[in-house]
Structure 1
Amino acid sequence: MGKLIWHELSRYISLTASVYAVWASFWGFFFRKFFWDFIGGTLRAPGGLQPSPKVAIFITVIVKHPIVQIATMALGFIMITLEYPLPVLKGTAIHRSIILRVVLLTIQASGTVLFYQGTNAALWSLIAVMFYIRALMLREKMEEGKRNTGPVEQA
């Protein structure tokens, strides 16, 4: 058998989670629902479950104005450009940084868990974060980073 390369596995999971986050954000524009509205809500006979007035800020930024969906979509596109790199980013320090990916995926998971369509993207983003942390604990380096380190030629 071979040795599992954790950052490659987490790269594929992160790419899938980011595409899912963009897709969920797209559907979140049309079907706006705050996922955690059932906590502390009031059940009314002719109206169903009414969210608590304590979560009015979330209703504003998710249901009335899709700010969370727009931010999640933008962050999803940023993560896609990091995981499936643009030619401009390939081999740069930003592209090789595992810590940056952990931070961005954590932010992406925090945003996608708020609206109903993004809960699966949040779950897969957190799984990718755990695998990236495992890669950091094993001191894995990205392949582009390994190729860039070598003896310096004297001119």
Structure 2
Amino acid sequence: MGKLIWHELSRYISLTASVYAVWASFWGFFFRKFFWDFIGGILRSPGGLQPSPKFAIFITVIVKFPIVQIATMALGFVMVALEYPLPILKGTAIQRSIALRVVLLIMQAAGTVLFYQGTNAALWSLIAAMFYIRALALREKMEAAIRNKGRVGEA
């Protein structure tokens, strides 16, 4: 049996979660719903559950103006560009950084958990971040970093 390469597993999960985040953000433009609106909501006879006035800022940036969806879609595209590297990013320090990916995945999860369509993307982004943290704990190096060892200033 072989040894599990944690950063490769998390790369595939992160790529899937990021594509899902872009897709969920797309649907979030058309069906705008703040996911956590049921917390502290007011139940009205005609109209159902109304969100609490304490969450007015979230209603503004998710339902009235889809700012969270736009930011999440942009971050999802950045993650796809890192995980399935664009030719301009291939072999750069940004593309090889596992710690940067962990931070971006946690930011992606924090954004996608706010709107209804992005909850699965948030879950898988956190799972990918945990696997990347495991790869960092095992001091794994990406294949591009191993190939570039000892090279200075070569393009």
Same fold (TM over 0.5): yes
| Cα distance in 2, alignment partners of residues 151 and 49 from structure 1 | 61
CA distance in 1, matches of 2:86, 2:151: 27
Sequence identity (%): 87
Secondary structure at 1:11's aligned position in 2?
helix
SS of the residue 1:46 aligns to = coil
> Residues 72 and 42 from structure 1, CA distance in 2 versus in 1: closer, same or farther, beyond 3 angstroms?
same
- What displacement does 1:150 show? 3.4
Inter-partner Cα distance in structure 1 for 2:50 and 2:86: 45
1:101 CA drift (Å): 0.2
Name the aligned partner's letter for residue 35 of structure 2: F
Are 2:86 and 1:81 equivalent residues in the alignment?
Answer: no
Give 2:60's aligned amino acid: T
Instruction: Output the CA distance in 2 between the equivalents of 1:42 and 1:16.
Output: 37
- Corresponding position of 1:4: 4
Q: C-alpha distance in 2, partners of 1:72/1:92? A: 24
**In the alignment, which residue of structure 2 is the partner of 1:72?**
72
Give the ranges of 4+ consecutive aligned residues of structure 1 lying more than 4 Å apart after TM superposition: none
Q: Which residue identity does 1:102 align to in structure 2?
A: V
In the alignment, is residue 134 of structure 1 matched against residue 134 of structure 2?
Answer: yes
- List alignment gaps of at least 5 residues for structure 1: none
Give the drift of 1:30. Answer: 0.1
Gaps of 5+ in 2: none
Which residue of 2 is the match for residue 143 of structure 1?
143
Partner Cα separation in structure 1 for residue 6 and residue 87 of structure 2: 23
Q: For residues 132-155 of structure 1, give each alpha carbon's deviation from its aligned partner in whole angstroms, at most 9, with x where no partner exists.
A: 000000000000000000377xxx
Aligned to 2:16: 16
Matched pairs, number: 152
Aligned partner of residue 23 in structure 1, secondary structure = helix
Please provide the CA RMSD for this pair.
0.9
Q: CA deviation at 1:53?
A: 0.1
Tell me what 2:105 maps to. Answer: 105
Q: Which amino acid aligns with 1:33?
A: K
Aligned partners of 1:37 and 1:136: how far apart in 2? 36
